[in-house]
Amino acid sequence: MDFRYLGNSGFKISEITYGNWLTHGSQVENEQAHACVRAALDAGITTFDTADVYANTKAETVLGEALRGERRESLEIFTKVFGPIGPKGHNDLGLSRKHIMEAAHGSLKRLQTDYIDLYQAHRYDYETPLEETMQAFADLVRQGKVLYVGVSEWTADQLREGAALAKELGFQLISNQPQYSMLWRVIEGEVVPASKELGISQVVWSPIAQGVLTGKYVPGQELPEGSRATDDKGGANMIARWMKDDVLERVQQLKPIAEEAGLSMAALAVAWVLQNDNVATAIIGASRPEQVADNAAAAGVTLEPGLLAKIDDVLGDAVVSDPAKTLDSSPKTREA
């Protein structure tokens, strides 16, 4: 496993991060979830990403149990705050001081740890003053309950404003967690340039486009049983944008390119995002341990320029790169 610095800091994380969105506490039984975490550790992965909103706090609990007994100093544990948790009352979401403080203490308990390595604002809160949010993060850092602060799916302007306030309060934003893959490149136009300017790295999610880039969805054939495209709990909705014959046909054409690189389709997709020097780590998810080992094979891989050009030629206009098409799920009001 190779390691990279996260943002303009001395904090090193593994190039591959194991994440448990849509799996632990919901789609995958706890025993299988523990086996996936063990596979991640065996592959040299030391960085783990979760959020309190995943499976309404259950995902954090499962991860905490799975990591119990491991040397804490050898791990980097990330979680997030914003989404509605618990009974989903009027103060159970957002980035108010009240919610951040209560959410942080809940996450610490569920993760069975004294501190969170990276605490992330899961979305931008349009109702809470940013000064209030940043002050709450600053206080958690000074209390030693949070070591570093990041955000997720913030725009370039939001990153600039947040970074400036953080600096005034004596800490720094070091990361942003956006969606990024061969098919979804919207961060390249504005977010990545702003992040380089600010000393912020990307912690990218969905590098295999919710499984589409594995090539398992073949045009004209039935969907694989148990796949995300057949999950009516939310997975099918997430993957719907890619389930078009023209996109799936182009993905099938990536197979010889993966073979040329000596990688599986999934590992090629993960390696592709890691070629961006502003990406510190790629988050992978898994429902089976063997998937972890497959994806982790992308660590340390260098894809030659000619191979990258072939990928671009194959995918063509299937690639989404327009920032206007980003999916910002932050509610503009608390009722949204």
215 Cβ contact list (under 8 Å, min separation 6): 251, 252, 254, 255, 265
Q: How far is residue 267's CA from residue 208's CA, in Å, rounded to a whole number?
A: 9
Per DSSP bridges, beta strands 76-81 and 47-49 are parallel
Query: Crossing angle, helix 289-296 and helix 30-42, to 10 degrees?
Result: 30
Q: How far is residue 13's CA from residue 69's CA, in Å, rounded to a whole number?
A: 20
Q: Is 54 a catalytic residue?
A: yes
* Spatial contact of 262 and 231, defined as CB atoms under 8 Å apart: no
Q: How far is residue 329's CA from residue 238's CA, in Å, rounded to a whole number?
A: 12
- Single-letter amino acid, residue 101: M
CA distances (Å), origin 207, targets 19, 148, 259, 267: 12, 23, 19, 10
- Kindly provide the residue ranges of all beta strands, DSSP E only, lying in 50-130, ordered along the sequence: 76-81, 116-121
> Of 18, 54, 119, 180, which residue is the catalytic one?
54
What does DSSP assign to residue 74? G
Per DSSP bridges, beta strands 3-5 and 12-14 are antiparallel
Query: Hey, which residues are catalytic here?
Result: 54
